[in-house]
Amino acid sequence: MTVPSVGRASKDNGANRTKAKPNKLRDKIGSIPAKLDPSVVQRVEIEVAAFNAEVKSELGDRIAEIQELSVDGHGLMDDSERRKTFYGFVHRLWGDAPSQGHPLLGRAAESLCLLLGNDDEHDSKQVAILEHHVAAIASIWGNRHQGDRLAESLVRSLEESTLKYKP
């Protein structure tokens, strides 16, 4: 029994293959770049700017909530409902910040989530690391430190502290 080969040229080296029909897309939309109605472009730009402002506001609100919930670090760690709410805000920041152009915020939030994922009894060292994370997140957001070597070094040291932390 002969098994047909898949993806290989036939014995005639493709000489008898039919060519694909040319794509007619260029005929339908015109030359590239396509000519767009300036009023449509303007409306899209306004919508994108409004969306970006809304997202920026949401990130700022989330960071404010994180700061407010963590004012008393020991109290936060003792109150399971407050800790769960805090974790939710931090986890959303971890997911949203990088896609909105804030990778350092995302990394700091990820590190904080890992720290909070430890269900063991908390101690002063864990609370101090938590408070440093919150201060760094607020500083990075408030000062827009993206690409800043100092902020990068700060986030790296927070990540290391989280990984080294043992209750």
CA distances from 36 to 25, 31, 44, 48, 53 (A): 16, 11, 11, 17, 25
- Residues 137/113, Cβ–Cβ less than 8 Å: no
pLDDT in tens, 43-77: 888 887 777 777 777 888 889 999 998 999 999 99
Domain count, the chain: 1
State both tokens at 18.
């039919």
Q: Is residue 8 part of a domain?
A: no
Is 114 part of a structural domain of the chain? Answer: yes
Within-domain flag for 6: no
Residue pair 72/123 in contact by the 8 Å Cβ criterion: no
**Residue at 13 is within a domain:** no
Residues 110-150 pLDDT 10s: 999 999 987 677 889 999 999 999 999 998 888 865 567 88
Rounded distance between C-alpha atoms, residue 97 and residue 104, angstroms: 8
Residue 78, domain CATH: 1.20.120
In a domain, 127, yes or no: yes
In a domain, 150, yes or no: yes
Domain that holds residue 125: 36-164
pTM score of the predicted model: 0.67
Q: How many other C-beta atoms lie within 10 A of the C-beta of residue 105? A: 26
